[in-house]
Amino acid sequence: MKMNGARIMLECLKKEGVDTIFGYPGGTVINLYDALFDFKEIHHILPRHEQAGTHAADGYARATGRVGVVIATSGPGATNTVTGIATAYMDSIPMVIITGQVPTPLIGNDAFQEVDIIGITRPCTKHSFLIRDVKDIALTMKKAFYIARSGRPGPVLVDFPKDIQIAQSEFDYPETVEIRGYKPNLSGHPRQVEKAVAMILESHRPVMYVGGGTVLSDSAEPLTELARTLTLPVTTTLMGLGSFPESDELSLGMLGMHGSYCANMAMSNSDLIIAVGARFDDRVTGKLSTFAPHAKIIHIDVDPTSIKKNVPVDLPIVGDVKDVLLKMIKQTDKNKEKLAGFVAALTPWHSDITAWKEKHPLGYKQSSTIIKPQFVIQKLRELSDDDAIISTDVGQHQMWTAQFFQFNKPRTLLTSGGLGTMGYGLPAAMGAQAAFPNRQIISICGDGGVQMNIQEMATLVQNRLPVKIVILNNNFLGMVRQWQELFFDKRYSSTCMELPIDYIKLADAYGAKGFLATKPGDVESVIKQGFEEKGPVIMEFMVAREEKVLPMVPAGASLNEMVLNA
């Protein structure tokens, strides 16, 4: 049966198992939306801004592990997705972005709402396609989804001209796809695995340094098993949070610029770092020349370009993190006789770590009069569901969430780690809530970032997505203010928000509920009220204005040169 290109596109999405998409109509996708009008298998959510729609698809992808899908029209619709695409690209999130394009005969003519979106997004997509024939739609979409989700995942953009949406063709979806230039190496080399386990068994001060690749490859279980078998201390990056339970005594928490004292000290004193799906980002390593000076490095990553990009590596293992970890578990099993001796020999290392944990645990000075932001995060953990999903924006509240929430399960933290995108949190939470209508989804924001996509309150209310929005309001762009305090002589250039917003009224204007806490005694009751509410909620906490995120490794300093009190 012949159908038009727009309908073929939707049939492709259905074949890929897509049940929810985010998108915003416009001139060059009007045919696609017309086809969507009676295509009941796909649930479409209309955000109030294409950037938010893209973040929502990203949040959906991070929470579920499936490919997030967003539609935008040509020109400004397409350019509005760019921040969302770059966010997903930096954190390796599988997404397919479908942008309308002017009819093929008009491409290049500066037509109305024409933009070269493929050109604009080339540096921040894993790949992109321009569909130039209705007969190519199915194969292109098969490739797009395959590329987005396989290997190191990432966003793939499909530019879809209007005339191709109108043209008629048969629909025939390929069962398999073969791309001769794209063969991700998923299987870790057995010899490298053997060497890795041998290196671990010879080490005395090993640390597992775990990144987002562990979450992306759904490897929390084998990671936890391997770490517990070998009693390896585990520190995670921001993106790795949740892949190893922070409640476990082997957990060191997060490392890096705002990492825990014990995690950074462990890295600095380690003799063997086992990097698992992490990429030695500058926020993690601090000054490279003094990073982990005593350690050999084993680096497990599916993307060969991550290996030896920033630091020299003694043993690279290219492969899917899960595959490699499972092989390492087997290999450890083969060395059972050495295990007891190895674990016993780690005792002094474990005592060092315990001593570091006790010397400078994460903490803050509680107040009886002013709400401390860290206290709100701790209360949120205490009062929220075990499987609650947390999203954050970027800045102080993000670091406090990473430090104090205690993540024990993978895919429960949605945060823009690589790009550091303000305005990410609220729409990402929206995407997660669309995927899991019955789970508790909490969007923790500052008063800066929340205003960057606040219009999505309308989407939440309209679609009955009961996201709990927590605003830690210090009326500052807090992280920049903190840097200005520490490094710029308190010259608070453009970081004071000055105009206070009445978020309670704002919630009301959108038809949602708002609750305000101004003193520590209000915190628990506001959270409880917010959680009990059936619909979306804003919970606003007026927090200590000049509270700092500590410890802190100043930019350019070594990991063990943490500012602990300032």
Partner 1 sequence: MQHTISVIVENDFGVLSRVATLFSGRGFNIDSLTVAPTNEEGLSRMTIVTRGDDQILEQINKQLNKLIDVLKVLDFTDGSAIERELALIKVAAEDDARAEVLRVVDIFRAKIIDVTPKSYTIEATGNPLKIDGILELLRPLGLKEVVRTGAVAIGRGAKGWNG
User: Out of 76, 105, 293, 304, which residue is the one contacting partner 1 (CB under 8 A)?
Assistant: 304
Catalytic residue among 2, 112, 183, 487: 112
Question: Which of 17, 119 has the CB closer to partner 1?
Answer: 119
Residue type, 6: A
Question: Which residues partner with 371 through β-bridges?
Answer: 543
Sign of the dihedral through C-alpha 279, 284, 290, 295: negative
Q: Does 309 bind partner 1 (CB under 8 A)?
A: yes
The DSSP-derived string for 59-85 is HHHHHHSS-EEEEE-TTHHHHHTHHHH
User: How many residues are given for the chain?
Assistant: 566
Report the nearest approach of partner 1 to the CB of residue 28 (Å).
19
Under the binding rule (CB under 8 A), the answer on residue 179 touching partner 1 is yes
Residue 488 among the catalytic residues: no
In the complex, the smallest distance separating the C-beta of residue 304 from partner 1, rounded to whole angstroms, is 5
In the complex, the smallest distance separating the C-beta of residue 279 from partner 1, rounded to whole angstroms, is 13
Among 39, 173, 182, 492, binds partner 1 (CB under 8 A): 182
Q: Which of residues 140-169 bind partner 1 (CB under 8 A)?
A: 147
Determine if 135 is a binding residue for partner 1 (CB under 8 A): no
Q: Which of 36, 86, 130, 445 binds partner 1 (CB under 8 A)?
A: 130
Helices marked H in 206-256: 212-216, 220-230
Annotated active-site residue in 126, 142, 162, 357 = 162
Annotated active-site residue 457? The verdict is no
Task: Tell me which of 2, 43, 204, 308 binds partner 1, using CB under 8 A.
Answer: 308
Sign of CA dihedral 553, 556, 559, 561: negative
Dihedral angle over CA of 20, 83, 61, 445, nearest 10: -100
Residue 476 annotated among the catalytic residues of the structure: no
Helix (H, G, I), strand (E, B) or coil at 45: strand
Binding segment for partner 1 (CB under 8 A), chosen from 26-34, 68-76, 123-131, 271-279, is 123-131
Q: In whole angstroms, give the CA distance from residue 378 to residue 356.
A: 22
**β-sheet with 296-301: strand ranges across:** 251-254, 234-236, 206-210, 272-276, 296-301, 315-318
Candidate segments 122-130, 285-293, 336-344, 550-558, binder of partner 1 by CB under 8 A: 122-130
Is residue 330 flagged as an active site residue?
no
Which one of the spans 94-102, 167-175, 176-184, 372-380 is the region binding partner 1 (CB under 8 A)?
Answer: 176-184
Nearest to 211 by CA among 265, 287, 284, 294: 284
Indicate the residue among 128 and 451 with the shorter CB distance to partner 1: 128
Shortest distance, CB of residue 120 to partner 1, whole angstroms? 11
Instruction: Say whether 479 is catalytic.
Output: yes
Q: Return d(Cα 143, Cα 194) in angstroms, integer.
A: 35
What number of CA atoms fall less than 13 Å from residue 384's CA on the CB side?
Answer: 25
Compute and round to an integer the Cα radius of gyration of the chain.
24
Does residue 176 touch partner 1 according to CB under 8 A?
A: no
Instruction: Work out whether 123 is an interface residue with partner 1 (CB under 8 A).
Output: yes
Is 17 among the residues that bind partner 1 (CB under 8 A)?
no
Stretch that binds partner 1, among 16-24, 173-181, 207-215, 428-436 (CB under 8 A): 173-181
In the bound complex, what is the minimum distance in angstroms from residue 302's beta carbon to partner 1? 11
> Of the two residues 180 and 336, which places its CB atom closer to partner 1 in the complex?
180
| Residue 420 backbone zone (phi > 0: left; psi -120 to 50: alpha; other: beta) | left
User: Which of the residues 11, 50, 114, 547 is marked catalytic?
Assistant: 50
Closer residue to partner 1 in complex, CB, 246/303: 303
Taking CB under 8 A as the binding criterion, the range among 44-52, 115-123, 252-260, 401-409 that sits at the site for partner 1 is 115-123
Report d(CA 426, CA 451) in Å as an integer: 10
Stretch that binds partner 1, among 95-103, 114-122, 163-171, 233-241 (CB under 8 A): 114-122
118 touching partner 1, by CB under 8 A: yes
Taking residue 246's Cβ as centre, other Cβ atoms within 10 Å add up to: 16
Torsion-angle region of residue 53: left (phi > 0), alpha (psi -120 to 50) or beta?
Answer: alpha
Helix segments in 384-424, DSSP class H: 396-404
State which H helix or E strand residue 140 sits in.
helix 137-149
* Residue 139 is a binding residue for partner 1 (CB under 8 A): no
Amino acid at 253: G
Active site residues: 50, 112-113, 162, 479
Which residues contact partner 1 by CB under 8 A? Answer: 118-119, 122-123, 126-128, 130, 132, 147, 179-182, 303-305, 308-309
